């Protein structure tokens, strides 16, 4: 099951990412939530600030904080006019990191719910491919679905 979570998240983030940097902000929010989730029982069960981290919680927190910081740093340089693009290497690595972090802290369902953007994009691609293979017709004009939304108009369209 862990394999499917990690590989599925990696591919979902890769499908979501485009030149517009759509994947980075949901990835930052999911990483922050996954880093906080194992800390909440640790904080509620302790009385001293120096003992608030249970064994193994500190490493997950540091890893998720690193993902959040790197994502916010990337977002700064990916803002218009973009100087840096993520590409497949970055999107696959961020997705695999999120999937691995979710498996480590045992919060796969939280990953599925909070990563709703990733799920929506992946389902749109799966439906499009299945429909085209079975019937020869497309459901959407383009897939993933964020391409349809951006072609209808957005902040860059005048």
Give yes or no for a contact between 106 and 37, defined as CB atoms under 8 angstroms apart: no
Q: Is residue 81 part of a domain?
A: yes
Q: Is residue 141 part of a domain?
A: no
Q: Is residue 87 part of a domain?
A: yes
Query: Which residues, at least 6 apart from 104, have a Cβ–Cβ distance to it below 8 Å?
Result: 60
Res 51: pLDDT? 46
Q: Is residue 57 part of a domain?
A: yes
* Nearest-angstrom CA–CA distance, 37 and 107: 8
Range(s) of the domain holding residue 93: 2-115
* Nearest-angstrom CA–CA distance, 93 and 71: 12
Q: Is residue 29 part of a domain?
A: yes
Look at residues 56, 26, 139, 69 and name the one whose alpha carbon lies nearest to residue 9: 26
Q: How much of the chain, in percent, has pLDDT values that exceed 70?
A: 77
Is pTM beyond 0.85 here?
A: no
pLDDT tens, residue by residue, 25-74 = 999 999 999 888 766 555 545 444 444 555 666 778 888 999 999 999 99
Q: Is residue 64 part of a domain?
A: yes
Helix (H, G, I), strand (E, B) or coil at 58: helix
Res 152: pLDDT? 67
Q: Is residue 108 part of a domain?
A: yes
pLDDT tens, residue by residue, 15-28 = 888 766 788 999 99
Average pLDDT, the chain: 81
Phi-psi region of 55 (alpha: psi -120 to 50; beta: other; left: phi over 0): beta
Q: Which stretch of 8-12, 60-64, 135-139, 154-158 has the lowest confidence by average pLDDT? A: 154-158
Look at residues 105, 111, 92 and name the one whose alpha carbon lies nearest to residue 35: 105
Task: Give the number of domains in the chain.
Answer: 1
Q: Is residue 154 part of a domain?
A: no
pLDDT beyond 60 at 92: yes
């Amino acid at each position: 099951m862990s394999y499917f979570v990690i590989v599925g998240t990696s591919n979902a983030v890769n499908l979501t990412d485009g030149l517009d940097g759509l994947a980075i902000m949901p990835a930052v929010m999911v990483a922050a939530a996954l880093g906080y989730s194992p800390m909440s029982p640790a904080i509620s069960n302790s009385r001293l600030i120096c003992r608030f981290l249970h064994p193994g919680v500190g490493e997950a927190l540091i890893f998720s904080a690193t993902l959040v910081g790197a994502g916010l740093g990337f977002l700064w340089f990916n803002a218009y006019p973009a100087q840096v693009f993520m590409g497949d290497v970055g999107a696959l690595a961020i997705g695999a990191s999120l999937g691995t972090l979710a498996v480590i802290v045992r919060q796969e369902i939280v990953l599925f719910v909070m990563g709703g953007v990733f799920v929506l994009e992946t389902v749109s691609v799966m439906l499009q491919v299945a429909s085209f293979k079975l019937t020869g017709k497309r459901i959407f004009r383009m897939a993933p679905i964020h391409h349809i939304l951006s072609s209808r108009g957005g902040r860059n369209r005048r």
